[in-house]
Chains A and B, each alone.
Chain A
Amino acid sequence: MQLVPEYRADVKRVERFNFVARMTHWGHTVTFILCLLTGLVLFLDSADWLAVIFGGFSGAGLVHRIAAVTLTIFLVIFVIFDFKGIVDWVKDLLRFGKNDIIFVMKFPLEFLGFPVKMPPQTRFNGGEKGNSMLTPTSVILLVLSGYIMWFPAIFPAGLVRVCYPIHDIAMVLATFMVCMHGYLGSFHPGSGESFWGMWKGTVRDDWAQHHHPIWYEETYGDKADKDAE
């Protein structure tokens, strides 16, 4: 039972994500999970067993804050060192068009395993674009409302009050996306290869061509050569 498609070093591969993007992604993953687990201690009423792992509520509170600070640092590093990557990422998002809508509409079938013909996709397909829009906004909201709740005395009471629901909503949305993204990015047949894109930075050439033709053409295909001249 093959969970994640085997890494084929012998096949032609193309670079999908540079080092900084990947380091940020995985750092963010670890810290987000930590924040999530220690945060659920407060969110769920029956989560006392969860608190025990982190050494009681104060321990959980401590870990939550350490992870949150680390997460913020990762984001800061990401912005400083790979600002161009972010700009490209956003540009790609702005290309959200007809193809992406079709992709998203057909996606449930593909999600359940029915073979579906998908329109050509750019670097990030419709679903990934959705995820790229929703998760970063949730995380930014989480970070901002988190710090406000951490130092409530500095901020006006009204602002602090609105942070509580925001923090929870953002957490739920982000976690929802994380669950889907985590599964799709690894165990889901077909898109499993993208795991290696994030883990090692490269994906199989043919997979890229098939799943992200526009992206492939523009970066590695003919149009890339024309542009390069």
Chain B
Amino acid sequence: MANKANLYDVSKCTACRGCIIACKDWNQLPAVIEPFKGNYCTHEDTNGDTFTIMRFIEEETDPADDVKWHFLKYQCMHCFDPACMKVCPQGAYTKTDWGATFHNPEKCIGCQYCTYACPFTIPKYRKREDKITKCTLCVDRVEAGLTPACSRTCPTGALSFGDRHELLAQAEERVKFLRANGFPNATIYGKLELGGLNMLYLLTDTPDKFGLPIDPKVPGQITFWQDWVQPYFGWLIPLALAGSAFSFVTTRILAGKNGEHAEGGHE
């Protein structure tokens, strides 16, 4: 299948949050009720049973009388080169040929390495199953020829699923239109970030206004860990074992040759 993507066009979104619930309906996720503390979005972040959340960020632009209410649907970005896949000791992550970063719960042992490798800290630990969970881009639906649950339910077409290059072309078109019509710094997010994402955003303002990192990076420690420590550093142990074995042999041979009596006392 061609490389797919989910495009989220903020300028069409009314934050009806149908996507969040359709995701829960399809992926059979229980509700996680956290108290309201003054923002419509009651979750700080996604959690083990909530694959996607909708952020509400208010901004006062000048002249002072204009208010902007930025909405952002936040979920796994399905990176081309996923950091989660890189760190997972069990190889539970695979990248489907059409672009979804798929996590196979059967292989997962709940070590949570991926949570902190992800530049967006998306994969979350589900305690009752001792497993990691995250948005699957509805692998089962897409491979059965359907669209993901969130884009299928989106009333205004803010979320659309399809071939990535086609969506990018549409987005380029749309961003030109938006820049000319009242949204001067509309941007496309996900085309180049982290080498490209299978989740594309069409933002009406700069990414930081939506709580998205302008230039996301895989955290330095993780790269160091995975590229240097894991593959090479480990060889010290066999080195030590080999050294000891070698010494074990040579000391006995030399001892025998020099006729000493290798008992505990003197040389």
Contacts and interface: CB of A to CB of B under 8 A. Distances in A.
Complex contact flag A–B (Cβ < 8 Å): yes
Contacts, number: 130
A164 B263 CA distance: 44
B254 interface: yes
B264 A152 contact: no
B254 A113 contact: yes
Chain A interface SS verdict (over half):
helix
A164 B254 contact: no
B254 A112 contact: yes
Contacts of A8: 264
Contact of A172 (B91, B234, B251): B234
Contacts of A149: 112
A179 interface: yes
B47 to A, nearest CB: 11
A204 B244 contact: no
B250 A113 contact: yes
A68 interface: no
B230 interface: yes
Chain B interface SS verdict (over half):
helix
Nearest to A1: B252
Interface stretch (A96-104, A122-130, A181-189): A181-189
B65 interface: no
Contacts of B56: none
A143 interface: no
A176 B238 CA distance: 8
Contact-residue size bin, chain B (C-beta under 8 Å from the other chain): 35 or more
Contacts of B264: 5-6, 8, 192-193, 196, 204, 207
A111 B112 CA distance: 42
Contacts of A81: none
20 contacts: A6-B263, A42-B109, A43-B89, A43-B230, A43-B234, A44-B234, A57-B109, A112-B251, A113-B250, A113-B252, A161-B117, A164-B221, A164-B225, A165-B224, A177-B240, A179-B237, A180-B244, A183-B248, A189-B255, A206-B265
Interface of B: 87, 89-91, 109-113, 115-117, 121, 130, 219, 221-222, 224-225, 229-230, 233-234, 236-237, 239-241, 243-244, 246-248, 250-255, 258, 260, 262-267
Given A115-B267, A207-B265, 19 more contacts: A42-B89, A45-B89, A111-B247, A112-B247, A113-B250, A115-B258, A152-B115, A157-B116, A157-B121, A158-B219, A169-B229, A169-B233, A172-B236, A176-B237, A183-B247, A188-B251, A189-B252, A193-B264, A204-B264
Interface of A: 1-2, 5-6, 8, 42-45, 57-58, 61, 111-115, 149, 152, 157-158, 160-162, 164-165, 168-169, 172-173, 175-177, 179-180, 182-184, 187-190, 192-193, 196, 204, 206-207, 210
